[in-house]
């Protein structure tokens, strides 16, 4: 401590001396600042990884068989925290953008991982975009902080592990025979999620209804462009045991969406419309609820704040995910005892998950008691 203080005084006088001598040498100035700030050995590392999907994943606008992710680690004092950025191509992030962003993150300037607010404000300030890359730092940081405290985050936040919700399981758009097969394979899930937003929507629901009467939730991914059509569809779905509708209309159609929510017999949820905290306020009065995803909102710190804000506004909250490893899913599921709607099937849809953590058992989200984000084992991928 004494040594550091002396070093600080010495450095300060050197900078001062340079200025007095008539010109600031910028490189020695930067070097001096570096000496003052470098006071921890907290280190971020990252490596690209590609998730293999069990089925071709089809949305209203695209299909794919893999998802690029970036796996991160923060190491501090012999403890390692794990994180992940999942980057479906349509959201604009990639291995290249995440690498570029993460290369700029210098955690050595912070004293220790407990400076969560300072660290994540700094990470957010590096660039206005890159939400998934930011989430990969946030998740690893939460993991290491929980490990240093010796508790999982659901406990740190004060949630009851027994109150985790059932998760929906997504049945992607496909041929009638494949859809029926997928529904059979999804036997253990209590709620199925169906992707709509094409002109075959009613056939898709009728195909599923020919094999099961389980409750359904639907995600239109902005696919319905007319509010009267959307309301007719929702009324039709309401008669077929559908429980809620996610992002029925394009995110720009705010007034039409508010009209639809007011008339709709089912709760509506904003997903593409809701990325970060300010979007929660914008969604108030437009949707019944919001879909929070770590990869959109930069991680657990902001997700927890968004959840608190939405609930205080009387809105419903859903937790969603991309196709992710058990790292991202275990992280977000730490919040799940606090919400009604979970769509946390991301790790179940991939065949090369390098982590173990939160499980889905008989359709219910089951948290581990391991500290941090609840990852108990890292497989050798």
Which residue ranges make up the site for Mg ion (CB under 5 A)? 219, 246, 271
Instruction: Choose among 188, 212, 170: nearest CA to 361.
Output: 188
H/E segment holding residue 216: strand 216-219
Residue with tokens 């989430």: 135
CB of 293 to Mg ion, least distance (A): 8
Cα 142–chain centre separation = 13
By C-beta, is 196 or 375 nearer to Mg ion?
196
CB of 292 to Mg ion, least distance (A): 11
Instruction: Choose among 342, 66, 334, 315: nearest CA to 217.
Output: 342
Do 107 and 42 meet the contact criterion of CB atoms below 8 Å apart? yes
Instruction: Choose among 306, 319, 252: nearest CA to 279.
Output: 306
> Which residue sits closest to Mg ion, CB atoms considered?
271
- Residues in CB range of 297: below 8 A, 6 or more apart: 131, 135, 275, 276, 277, 303, 306
CB of 257 to Mg ion, least distance (A): 14
CB of 269 to Mg ion, least distance (A): 8
Retrieve residue 145's tokens: 């902080």
CB of 246 to Mg ion, least distance (A): 5
Name the DSSP letter for residue 91. Answer: G
CB of 28 to Mg ion, least distance (A): 52
H/E segment holding residue 71: strand 63-76
Q: Cα-flanking dihedrals φ and ψ of residue 106, to 5°?
A: -115, 100
Residue with tokens 């009267």: 228
CB of 284 to Mg ion, least distance (A): 19
Provide the H-helix boundaries in 63-130.
95-103, 116-125
């Amino acid at each position: 401590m004494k040594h550091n203080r002396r070093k600080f005084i010495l450095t300060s006088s050197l900078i001062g001396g340079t200025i007095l001598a008539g010109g600031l040498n910028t490189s020695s100035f930067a070097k001096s600042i570096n000496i003052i700030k470098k006071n921890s050995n907290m280190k971020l590392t990252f490596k690209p990884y590609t998730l293999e999907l069990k089925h071709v994943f089809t949305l209203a606008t695209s299909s794919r068989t893999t998802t690029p992710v970036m796996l991160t680690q923060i190491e501090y004092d012999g403890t390692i925290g794990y994180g992940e950025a999942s980057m479906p191509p349509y959201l604009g992030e990639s291995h290249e953008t995440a690498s570029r962003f993460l290369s700029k993150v210098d955690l050595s300037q912070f004293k220790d991982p407990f400076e969560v607010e300072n660290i994540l404000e700094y990470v957010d300030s590096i660039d206005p975009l890159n939400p998934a890359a930011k989430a990969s730092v946030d998740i690893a940081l939460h993991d290491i902080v929980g490990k240093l405290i010796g508790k999982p985050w659901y406990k740190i936040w004060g949630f009851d592990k027994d109150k985790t919700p059932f998760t929906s399981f997504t049945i992607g758009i496909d041929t009638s025979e494949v859809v029926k097969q997928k529904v059979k394979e999804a036997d253990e899930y209590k709620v199925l999620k169906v992707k709509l937003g094409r002109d075959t929507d009613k056939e898709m629901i009728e195909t599923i209804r020919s094999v099961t009467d389980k409750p359904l939730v639907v995600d239109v991914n902005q696919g319905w462009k007319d509010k009267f059509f959307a309301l007719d569809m929702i009324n039709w779905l309401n008669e077929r045991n559908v429980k809620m509708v996610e992002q029925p209309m394009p995110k720009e159609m705010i007034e039409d969406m508010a009209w639809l929510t007011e008339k709709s017999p089912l709760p509506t949820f904003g997903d593409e419309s809701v990325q970060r905290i300010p979007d929660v306020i914008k969604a108030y009065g437009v949707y019944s609820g919001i879909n929070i995803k770590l990869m959109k909102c930069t991680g657990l710190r902001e997700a927890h704040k968004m959840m608190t804000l939405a609930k205080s506004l009387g809105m419903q909250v859903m937790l969603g995910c991309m196709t992710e490893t058990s790292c991202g899913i275990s992280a977000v599921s730490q919040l799940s005892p606090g919400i009604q709607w979970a769509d946390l099937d991301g790790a179940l849809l991939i065949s090369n998950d390098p982590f173990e953590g939160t499980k889905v058992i008989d359709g219910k989200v089951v948290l581990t008691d391991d500290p941090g984000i609840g990852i108990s084992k890292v497989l050798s991928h």
